[in-house]
Amino acid sequence: MSSPAVARKPRNVEESPSKTETPPMRGPMTTIGVLFALLTLHIFTLISSDLIPGPYMDEIFHIKQARTYCGGNFTEWDPKLTTLPGLYFVSLAEWKFLSLFVTLKDPCSVWNLRLTNFFFAVAGIFLFHRILLIIHPHYTNSSKFQLYTSAINLSTFPLLYFFTFLYYTDQASTFFTLAMLYFHISGSRGLAALIGAVAVFTRQTNIVWVGSLAALELFKSYRLIMQTVARTEDLKKITDDKDLQVLLSPFLSLLRNPTKSNLRRVAGFFLGVLVEGVPRILGYLTVMAGFLAFLIHNKGIVVGDRSAHQASLHIPQLFYFTAFTLFFASPYLITPTKVKAFFFDCLHRPVRVVIAVGAITAAIANFTYAHPYLLADNRHYTFYIWNRLFQRHHLVKYALTPVYLYGFWAMWDELRQRGVLRMLLFFAACCAVLVPQQLLEFRYFILPYLLFRIQLQKPSASQVVMEFLLYQAVNAVTLWLFLYKPFKTPGTGELQHFMW
């Protein structure tokens, strides 16, 4: 017989359960964490001690800046860096703390600085575990295999896991953003806002996720106040989605009764939303106000190297992201049931399909960009994808339209279970993070993908196993190419390595 916890409806991401509902981490999760740490440390040692002990690619700039801070110089800034210095301060604080217990010959050596991301990776597997338990309470008393395997899979997600071994900002940015989410859904909004500020200080685009949590929390107050404004039976005639019913309730009320008294009544409800909701998101608003001040002072979001990082309307970034998601979430998104449902929808809604295909085609034709870095840097996988696929023929970029269409549909089909409003907010956040980026860079997809994957409900045992095998296969190939298949730059003979 199923326990009561199993039968409960999965909780929405923005809801705040009591802190006693999540059981403490012990037993299998601790064992998994230790094994993960040992394996990751072995790979880390292989890379940092034997094969690539010196700074590689963008590490040259990050490590140089961190060492500048280690020397006590906080005024010098490398103009090649584009993100705020949160990672360097974290590394400095970390090794200042460790130096209280052990003697460090060179706290800011390449090894020690890279080890910062190792610590984030190990802490991250436990963080994923806690987030999954809160968002999916059915994991508490059942489906523990899916829970543990999902935590492993998320922690070894190939893009994120690869940058555990280099001194890049991805691990820190991801960890702090997910920590912000964890404290938000745990009910500690003040601490979530504080950690959100750290996340933004690590990578500026994380302000989008801070704003997303503020919007979800404000809607929570809106829902509590507005759900009694209009009659439920009237709303059900418009939509079955409860979020949209709540959102539309005051406007439907005004349509039914457009009197001054009712207008004042509805206005009073909106005022009540502000009175109730704004104090709940004051921490997030403070972070957003601080970020706005930074934008004004900095005259833009990029800290340095602005000529190579100019904002653009790069709409196809969303298409690349959907194809990316379709690949890494294929055990969940490419199933016979889902494919059949997609074709069924296409057959019964041909007008929508034509409009969608037209919109995708128009966006590809008018808003496709090829950044100079994408065309010139043959160390990244994206260079070969672009040159050997997209540039093979000018029609190839249009031929992938069915893949993009199915990807959007599959993601929508999964996210709509959590409400149309939350789904739209997620896609809006993805637009804000990805569309301004002119460079096709898979690292930009890490957080949007993980936040999508976290929301998938009740994966089967076979799905998480297939996901595990996929991730580890990609990790094995990626690390093997990176470590054992270097190549030399023509002319200089400098040794280079393939990487994301």
Segment 371-383, tens digit of pLDDT: 999 988 899 999 9
Last residue of a domain, one of 290, 307, 324: 307
Report the pLDDT value the prediction gives residue 229, as an integer from 0 to 100.
61
Does a structural domain hold residue 317? yes
Q: Is the pLDDT of residue 244 over 60?
A: yes
- Cβ–Cβ contacts within 10 Å for residue 320, how many? 22
Residue 233 in any domain: the answer is yes
Q: Is residue 435, in this structure, part of any structural domain at all?
A: yes
Say what the pTM is.
0.90
Of 222 and 346, the structure prediction assigns the larger pLDDT to 346
pLDDT tens, 176-226?
Answer: 999 999 999 999 999 999 999 999 999 999 999 999 999 999 988 888 877
Q: 295 and 267, same structural domain? A: yes
In 10 A of CB 167, how many CB atoms?
28
Q: State residue 11's pLDDT score.
A: 43
Residues 417 and 302 in one domain: no
Please indicate, yes or no, whether residues 47 and 177 belong to a single structural domain of this protein: yes
Q: Does residue 483 sit within a domain? A: no
The answer to whether 107 and 136 have CB atoms below 8 angstroms apart is no
Residue where a domain terminates, one of 307, 323, 355: 307
Residue 466 belongs to a domain: no
Who's near 301: CB < 8 A, 6+ residues apart? Answer: 204, 205, 295, 311
> For residue 121, is it within any domain?
yes
- Domain with 72 in it: 1-202
Gyration radius of the chain's alpha carbons: 24
Q: Does residue 351 share a domain with residue 260?
A: no
Query: In terms of domains, do 243 and 347 share one?
Result: no
Q: What percent of the chain has pLDDT over 70?
A: 92
Asked which of 138, 173, 202 is the last residue of a domain, the reply is 202
Gap between the Cα atoms of 104 and 119, Å rounded: 17
Residue 209 confidence (pLDDT): 98
Helix locations, 311-445, DSSP H: 316-328, 330-333, 336-348, 350-367, 372-376, 381-385, 396-399, 401-415, 420-434
The bridge status of strand 487-488 relative to strand 495-496 is antiparallel
Please state, as a whole number, how many other Cβ atoms lie within 10 Å of the Cβ of residue 272: 15
Q: Is 50 exceeded by the pLDDT of residue 13? A: no
The two three-digit tokens of residue 499, written as one number: 């990487």
Given a cut of 50, is residue 6 above it in pLDDT?
no
| Average pLDDT rounded to a whole number, residues 239-261 | 78
Statement to judge: residues 39 and 174 lie in one domain: yes
What would the mean pLDDT of 235-244 be, rounded to a whole number?
71
Total structural domains within the chain: 3
| Domain shared by 377 and 333, yes or no | yes
Give the model's confidence band at 245: pLDDT under 50 very low, under 70 low, under 90 confident, else very high: confident
Q: How many H helices and E strands in the chain?
A: 25, 2
